[in-house]
Structure 1
């Protein structure tokens, strides 16, 4: 497959990470950056890339084969629509938008124009989750009955020097828990009901620092999620899965998927099951899968190149990402209403 000429819109931390990954990728190369900040201009010069202050001008002049959208959430729809209008496939960072109606608008526009959009729920590209999905799809767990996930970590004080991170919408539900909700949907199917509680009792900011969430799946299974960014604990995907070298890896599990015939832990991929009779007096056997390690961002770029070429369908489409966003926003709705929130199909 030929290297695809990409442009990055938004040169913050995530945008720069994509540039760095593409530099070493055999199927992708970044040729231009659009971001009005002086720091972005300097970064583009350092990387030998064309720099544009305006993304529309960049799309028209550089004519990339694909665009990576790493701008603030509220701008994703406008930037995505600009890509669609020019027939340019886009990889849009999560969340796809800041509200569900906007996400659905973007999804419809992409479908009508037949321009593929891939949303950057990058964990789906991790071989661990791909293997977990195979195990569940095989029926080995039997009927899923419950699932539990922990996303507990400590964000240092300096993280909150940026004001929006202290305001509603800047907390661990929308920034962090959305990943775990997407994992749950990816592995167990649609979420149909959400209940939740949040707390800001530790830091006292407007935004939550801790949340507890209860999910009902379309299959009838139930799930629980706990997230906290003021917890001294190892139980979160970033530390446990080893996706990024700047997080010290911990040999722990964070997600537990429990069925009538077997149970599965992640990221260590342990399958617990009875090998003869089932019953709490019988011994359980554990078996571990060990998939090849891979950088999910690297694999996401490979997949995006395949999407641009028309050889692969987006692993996380705009419509799919809108469903994850709806379930995540339902957490705050459930907190505000102090009642369960039903999710429409």
Structure 2
């Protein structure tokens, strides 16, 4: 079987991870790296592939089956439009765009085109999330009532020393970390239509926030609360509970989401399920039936790459569309606005997905 030919644009940290995954895969082959930076030459030499300074140069000289866009955020939309024009499918690292206006332009272009675009919210490919969605959709916890979520962890001082912009507006956990959580929550609980939020910088005293308390309203009527902090000594984050990224220590007794319905609750990622056997048994005086759902563990980035190959081959539609990536960004912007204004930010009913 012919291997799918892939190029990677961007030879930074996440770009190099994509390069490693492609090189380890039997289904695809790395054919080029696109990056005008001086450090990219060594990456391309080590990978034994040609280096191009731009997508335009790449498309003039060769036409890969797909491109992974692991470039700075402000380049995502322009480069994705180049891929559409060249007829080359693209995997766009999150966020899909650096502004909502730019994201809307890409969404409109993607609707008109037949070239598939996959947005790199890799957690959407987590088998843990897939199992949690299955349990919820099967109605095992009943009608969804609410979700309690957290992403509470401690970023060390060198995280900020190595990139001082992270101390300034735009460098805090709302824009850097929360977009992952929004993708997860939308996947599990449905569209988010309104947000409230309070933020604080009382611990680090940086100009940017370090802690945020968020309220969410979902389109189906469920409510949610979420605590976000990058300055708290806690393990209640996806990275420290899911065991999907071995770079982080993991704690098997911790959860980062508890999803509650009118028949029971599901804790994620421990997958502890507490349910009432019958509607007639629903009472805080009555015991739950308790089980732990079986799950498999796999690297979502590896699964995302396999899915991208399926998309290129025409065997699958993008699991995370431009619409999904844009909706995640829209909700993040709403949370940031709510912290500035103190108002409830309403987004109305979600429009049809692409």
Short-chain TM bin = over 0.9
Query: In structure 2, how many angstroms separate the alpha carbons of the residues matched to 1:237 and 1:38?
Result: 34
2:268 paired with 1:266: yes
Equivalent residue of 1:91, what SS? strand
Structure 2 partner of 1:128? 128
**Would the aligned equivalents of 1:28 and 1:301 in 2 still touch at CA under 8 Å?**
no
Equivalent residue of 1:178, what SS? helix
Structure 2 partner of 1:79? 79
How far apart are residue 73 of structure 1 and its match? Answer: 1.1
In structure 2, the gaps of 5 or more residues are none
Query: In structure 1, how many angstroms separate the alpha carbons of the residues matched to 2:6 and 2:39?
Result: 20
For residues 308-341 of structure 1, what are the alpha-carbon distances to aligned partners after superposition, in whole Å with 9 as ceiling and x for unaligned?
1111000000011111111111011111111000
Structure 2 partner of 1:68? 68
**Would the aligned equivalents of 1:32 and 1:62 in 2 still touch at CA under 8 Å?**
no
Moved over 3 A (4+): none
Structure 2 partner of 1:56? 56
TM-score using structure 1 length: 0.97
How far apart are residue 135 of structure 1 and its match? Answer: 1.0
**Would the aligned equivalents of 2:193 and 2:347 in 1 still touch at CA under 8 Å?**
yes
> 1:295 pairs with 290, 294, 299, which one?
299
For residues 102-143 of structure 1, what are the alpha-carbon distances to aligned partners after superposition, in whole Å with 9 as ceiling and x for unaligned?
112111112212111100111110111011111111111211
> 1:283 pairs with 280, 287, 290, which one?
287
Query: In structure 2, how many angstroms separate the alpha carbons of the residues matched to 1:268 and 1:143?
Result: 21
How far apart are residue 49 of structure 1 and its match? Answer: 1.7
Structure 2 partner of 1:160? 160
Structure 2 partner of 1:308? 312
- In the TM superposition, 1:178-217 aligns within 5 A as 178-217=179-218
2:115 paired with 1:111: no
Query: In structure 2, how many angstroms separate the alpha carbons of the residues matched to 1:49 and 1:311?
Result: 28
Query: In structure 1, how many angstroms separate the alpha carbons of the residues matched to 2:211 and 2:59?
Result: 40
Query: In structure 2, how many angstroms separate the alpha carbons of the residues matched to 1:338 and 1:3?
Result: 53
**Would the aligned equivalents of 2:52 and 2:58 in 1 still touch at CA under 8 Å?**
yes
How far apart are residue 5 of structure 1 and its match? Answer: 0.8
For residues 235-272 of structure 1, what are the alpha-carbon distances to aligned partners after superposition, in whole Å with 9 as ceiling and x for unaligned?
10011001111111111111110000121110111111
TM-score using structure 2 length: 0.95
Structure 2 partner of 1:243? 244
How far apart are residue 59 of structure 1 and its match? Answer: 2.9
In structure 1, the gaps of 5 or more residues are none
Q: Which moved more, 1:49-58 or 1:112-121?
A: 49-58
Structure 1 partner of 2:174? 173
Considering only aligned residues, what root-mean-square deviation do their CA atoms show, in Å? 1.2
Query: In structure 1, how many angstroms separate the alpha carbons of the residues matched to 2:181 and 2:344?
Result: 19
**Would the aligned equivalents of 1:152 and 1:233 in 2 still touch at CA under 8 Å?**
yes
**Would the aligned equivalents of 1:193 and 1:340 in 2 still touch at CA under 8 Å?**
yes
Query: In structure 2, how many angstroms separate the alpha carbons of the residues matched to 1:116 and 1:231?
Result: 40
How far apart are residue 2 of structure 1 and its match? Answer: 3.9
**Would the aligned equivalents of 2:140 and 2:275 in 1 still touch at CA under 8 Å?**
no
Equivalent residue of 1:170, what SS? coil
Query: In structure 1, how many angstroms separate the alpha carbons of the residues matched to 2:166 and 2:310?
Result: 35
How far apart are residue 37 of structure 1 and its match? Answer: 1.5
Equivalent residue of 1:206, what SS? coil
Structure 2 partner of 1:22? 22
